Structure 1
Amino acid sequence: MRSSSVVIRLFVVTTFIFVVFVTIAFVIQLRSFETYYYDLKIKDIDAQYESFEMLYDEAKWNQTLLDQNVQYFENKNNVKVALVDYHYGIINEQKYKIFVMDTNGQVYEVELNEVFTPEDYLSLSVNRGDEIDVYGYLWGDDLSNISLMQMKINDVMVFDGIDPKVRGKLSLDHISGTVLSLRIPDEDDLIYGAGKNSLATAVDKYYFNQGDLNITDNSFIFSDYETGREYIVKVFNVGDATVKSIFFMTDQQPIIEATTALKSFYPALITGVFIVGAVMMFFLIFSISNPLYDIERKAEKLVQLDFTEYLEVKHNDEIGRLSKSLNHLSYNLENSLKALNEANEKLVEDMAKDREVEHMRKEFIRNVSHDFKTPLGVIRAFTEGMEDGVLEEDLSYYAGIILDEVETLEALVNDMLELSKLQTGAYTLDIEEFHFNTMVEGLIEKSQKLASKKQISLAFTGAAYDLVYGDYRKLSRAVQNFIANAIQYGDAGTEVTLMTTVIERRIRFEIYNHCAPIPEAYLEKVWVKFFRADESRTKSGSGSGLGLAITKEILEQHQCKYGVANTESGVVFYFEMDKYVNHIV
């Protein structure tokens, strides 16, 4: 991945944006979450008050039922409730007491409210059956209540509220006995209801010292100056005959502790978010950059006119559609370039053919001129001699020579016309079924007279199977040309051997003659019109020079394999054609 690529820039930018976004989100959360939590708790208190109000309006509780139902509601909803009367006292305030029975069976109540602090309750160790001594003032209709000034349990001083300056000057009541039962607060009660920093203190602050409170819509945060804990308090004004207002208090400390912990954890959290975000962005950018890299590599290959590779399209998104378009472009360019190359190659071939045709035309004119010139010269010479009276004797002999030359010219013209028809496609093969050996034997019979002039013998060996499918007349011409060529160029007194064999599904014809070998450079040129290996062009026979060219065209129209090769003692011409079962259609 190149450092200057768009992928690196995209990775850096997206990672930066991600980290900035997360950082802003955390900052906003830290600044607004406490407010959000406060509003949420206020809504929760409002809903709790509606539920409590319905219970309170439906049933007029006595003090015992009021204490029980309020305590049940507080435990169920994790909230503390204070019903405040018109004297700013809490009607449902929990009374914490120790019940003492003396030796006479008299039961006394020791009031602990507004006397014990939370620390006093936590340090108090008292159980039923313990011996207890209490000093204070008896009160009540039956003097069964005692205000606490000093208390011993099992002869151990557990509370002493008497000022040493007045100790001995006070006339205090004294009760002694055993602990019959006790009602003291647990830790939750200490948080909400016992001692100076209780819900009662929040009531006092609301009515008599609001300067310390930030009250909004009858709700405020109450702070315990000793523990530092904070509580949310909501005041509902009732105004009935007994209750002036109802206070709801719930603890805000968990959210404060969570926010404080989050602030301390903030640097590590941002670092972790940065690392995780960078990794996620890397894989995200990699998933985008990988197809982009493939597209770039494909584009570079297109510049180099390399169309061999196509992009894999995995998704139908913008990158997928771009890949499809690039594949179509590559396909169209490849086809256009291929068509252009084919047209160029065809143009080159046409130009080569034109040059070859021009060369053949010139060669043809030169050859035809030569082949026509000799017989025409002979005809002219003998005709002029006869006209001048020089050849008055034996006119029939010279007339015969002139006739032979005319026949030569006629044969040359006929061969040229036949070759032209074969090359231009003006001739249509007349396909039929026939026995190839029978045709060869007939041609050998016709060539015996020509062969005997050079004392050449003709020998033929035929294959057992010889049924073929082709143009009998044209194939006869081809074989006749091979025989005439073998006799013309064969050494006198030798044998020309003809043979047919079956090779797989084809019939092979071969003809051997004894003569000087053809130079290797000329083996493929023997099929060309008027070509002779003898550059002096001395004619050794009466051929037109078109026989093998005509034979080549006939064999190619029959889809035959053909060729020529040198042997140890001469030359062999051959061709192969399908048997009847694989005939030309």
Structure 2
Amino acid sequence: MRKGIIRKSITLKLFIATSVFFIIFITTQLVLQSFFFQSFYTNKKVNTLKNNLEFLEKKYRITFKSAEGSISVIKKFEEDNNAKIVVLENNGLLSYITDTKEELKDSNKIRIIKAIIEQWTSNPEAFKNLQEKGNTITYIFNDPYYNLKHIVAIDPVVINNNVGKVLFAVSSLQPVDEAVKVMKEFFIYTYIIAIILILVLSTIYSKMISKPLVKINKTALKMAKFDFNEICAAHGEDEIGNLGDTLNFLSRNLKEALSSLQESNKKLKKDIEKEKELESMRKEFVASVSHELKTPISLIEGYAEGIKDDIMEEEDKDYYIDVIIDEARKMGVLVADMLELSRLESGTQKINIKPFIIDNIINSEVKKLNKINEDKNDKDRINILVDLEKEVEVLGDEDKIHQVITNFLTNAIRYTKPKGKIYITSKIYKDKLLVEVENEGENIKDEDLTKIWDKFYKLDKSRNRSLGGTGLGLAIVKNILKLHNSDYGVCNTDRGVKFFFALNKKDI
């Protein structure tokens, strides 16, 4: 809404200012022409007739002895000035008039000339005074009969220091009056057309000037809303074009500065969130470690005090010592796992990516498990089924992937039901090798499927120690597979639970 108001305001102001200026200008011009053109034109014609008559007087002095020469000069003057020449003797008698007998029959023309001549000859003193001064005089003669005006110019011809002749030049102002009347009528139409043109041109001009300003304003409004993607299209070599270019330059700089600031803010926010997450993880880690260490420490402390106080039977002494050694070993494993997990989560752990044959690792671990499995009773024995792609080279850290496979197989053994089966398979999927370890047993609750990758998370809420483990195995596996950019996960199946991960195949 505001942009529209601004646009209309600028365009309207320019339109009004331009229109008013040119309307005043043309109105003033037409008024001046209407009021002063007639008098200006009359004065111009009077002065022209006077100057030309004086020039004629000089020529007449030269040619007056030759009647033919004088007549030629006079006729040329009449044609050039649209005037009538009458020559009087110094005593007021008519000396020469160019009209023929037919032209003299025009009673109106003769009447006007006679009236002008009689005006002077009837006053001998004024006529004599005119001759003595020898100056050219001009005046406007009003014909009361037809209400017409005529310019009269009188110039004495001085020959041998005496006035020999008097030249009368008479020119009608009727063409001037008619021309002025026509012009005034024409001015009305001209004025209307001029007003229309002014309005049209003012509209075009105001839009042409306001258009780049509107574009600049649009860009500025976008910038005020921190949107620097708008490019000002106001270009040119003038100040408005320079302003548009400057605004674009400012927009680019502000966009870069804002982007840099946003990136810094994102990084800062990410760092703060990471710090909070690390703090939360530290607190959780300390609580979990305290809980995990509490039992073995209590057992070691209790059995050690029993040995010290010699409260057990002699045959139980070895048992007490075995318990202390076993709990110390578990604590050592827990500490080792915590250190490894800490390195993995901190990003300081480096992995050595190189090609290796993964089925060699799987077969090696299965062989160990089968050896352990043979020592079990028939009711506890587990059947391990293997179906692997042969001699497939994958890219990864062999030691770390060995650790992943060991953990998956250990968990499978731990949670497989008696006389159950473990299925170990590998298959090629596009440019990857997918490894799956599935055990027959109880499904994992849906809410636990994502949590089992967390530190110290155990499916048995009571943290029953009989199943063993530190609660860090899957957390370590998760971080190892993340370092390999591996797709991994766990899901329930009809037979039990399946863990899987994928590694890139070596390019051939």
Q: Determine if the TM-score, normalized by the shorter chain, exceeds 0.5.
A: yes
The SS at the match of 2:111 is coil
Shift of 1:531: 1.7
The SS at the match of 1:501 is strand
Q: Do residues 218 (structure 1) and 133 (structure 2) align?
A: no
2:106 equivalent among 108, 117, 129: 117
Shift of 1:538: 1.7
Shift in CA distance, 256/380, structure 1 to aligned 2, threshold 3 Å: same
User: Which deviates more, 61-70 or 430-439?
Assistant: 61-70
Aligned to 1:474: 400
Shift of 1:96: 1.7
In 2, Cα distance between the equivalents of 1:228 and 1:495?
Answer: 138
The SS at the match of 1:374 is helix
Letter in 2 for 1:489: Y
User: Which deviates more, 359-368 or 242-251?
Assistant: 242-251
Is 1:386–1:392's contact at 8 Å kept on the other side of the alignment? Answer: no
Shift of 1:296: 5.8
Letter in 2 for 1:368: V
2:420 equivalent among 471, 494, 498: 494
1:551 equivalent among 477, 482, 500: 477
Is 1:83–1:243's contact at 8 Å kept on the other side of the alignment? Answer: no
Q: Do residues 239 (structure 1) and 239 (structure 2) align?
A: no
Is 2:222–2:228's contact at 8 Å kept on the other side of the alignment? Answer: yes
User: Which deviates more, 536-545 or 40-49?
Assistant: 40-49
Superposition TM-score, scaled by structure 1 size:
0.69
Aligned to 1:357: 278
- How many aligned positions are there? 488
In 2, Cα distance between the equivalents of 1:465 and 1:77?
Answer: 124
Q: Do residues 485 (structure 1) and 425 (structure 2) align?
A: no
Q: How does 1:166-185 map to 2 (within 5 A)?
A: none
Q: Do residues 197 (structure 1) and 197 (structure 2) align?
A: no
Aligned to 1:524: 450
Shift in CA distance, 550/196, structure 1 to aligned 2, threshold 3 Å: same
Shift in CA distance, 532/95, structure 1 to aligned 2, threshold 3 Å: same
Q: How does 1:13-32 map to 2 (within 5 A)?
A: 14-32=18-36
Aligned to 2:176: 255
Aligned to 2:132: none
1:412 equivalent among 331, 334, 349: 334
Is 1:83–1:92's contact at 8 Å kept on the other side of the alignment? Answer: yes
Deviations 1:158-190 (A, max 9, x none): xxxxxxxxxxxxxxxxxxxxxxxxxxxxxxxxx
Shift of 1:68: 4.0
Shift of 1:548: 1.7
Letter in 2 for 1:197: I
Shift of 1:84: 5.6
Is 1:496–1:513's contact at 8 Å kept on the other side of the alignment? Answer: yes
1:506 equivalent among 412, 422, 432: 432
For the pair shown, which has the larger CA radius of gyration, 1 or 2?
Answer: 1
Is 1:488–1:540's contact at 8 Å kept on the other side of the alignment? Answer: no
- Percent of aligned positions that are identical: 31
The SS at the match of 2:355 is strand
2:354 equivalent among 406, 428, 432: 432
In 2, Cα distance between the equivalents of 1:51 and 1:441?
Answer: 137
The SS at the match of 1:573 is strand
Deviations 1:181-211 (A, max 9, x none): xxxxxxxxxxxxx42224x765665777789
Shift in CA distance, 56/487, structure 1 to aligned 2, threshold 3 Å: farther
Is 1:508–1:574's contact at 8 Å kept on the other side of the alignment? Answer: yes
Listed as ranges, the gaps of 5+ residues in structure 1 are 99-111, 120-193
User: Which deviates more, 37-46 or 22-31?
Assistant: 37-46
In 1, Cα distance between the equivalents of 2:501 and 2:14?
Answer: 73
The SS at the match of 1:364 is helix
Letter in 2 for 1:496: I
Shift in CA distance, 464/39, structure 1 to aligned 2, threshold 3 Å: farther
Q: Do residues 388 (structure 1) and 309 (structure 2) align?
A: yes
Is 2:50–2:138's contact at 8 Å kept on the other side of the alignment? Answer: no
Is 2:359–2:392's contact at 8 Å kept on the other side of the alignment? Answer: yes
In 2, Cα distance between the equivalents of 1:56 and 1:576?
Answer: 128
User: Which deviates more, 56-65 or 221-230?
Assistant: 56-65
Superposition TM-score, scaled by structure 2 size:
0.78
Shift of 1:310: 4.8
Letter in 2 for 1:195: I
1:374 equivalent among 295, 299, 303: 295
Shift in CA distance, 571/37, structure 1 to aligned 2, threshold 3 Å: farther
In 2, Cα distance between the equivalents of 1:476 and 1:356?
Answer: 30
Shift in CA distance, 365/295, structure 1 to aligned 2, threshold 3 Å: same
Shift of 1:522: 2.6
Shift in CA distance, 86/414, structure 1 to aligned 2, threshold 3 Å: same
In 2, Cα distance between the equivalents of 1:523 and 1:246?
Answer: 132
Shift in CA distance, 360/219, structure 1 to aligned 2, threshold 3 Å: same
Aligned to 1:138: none
Letter in 1 for 2:363: E
User: Which deviates more, 23-32 or 300-309?
Assistant: 300-309
The SS at the match of 1:362 is helix
Shift of 1:426: 2.2
Aligned to 1:421: 343
Shift in CA distance, 217/96, structure 1 to aligned 2, threshold 3 Å: closer
The SS at the match of 1:403 is helix
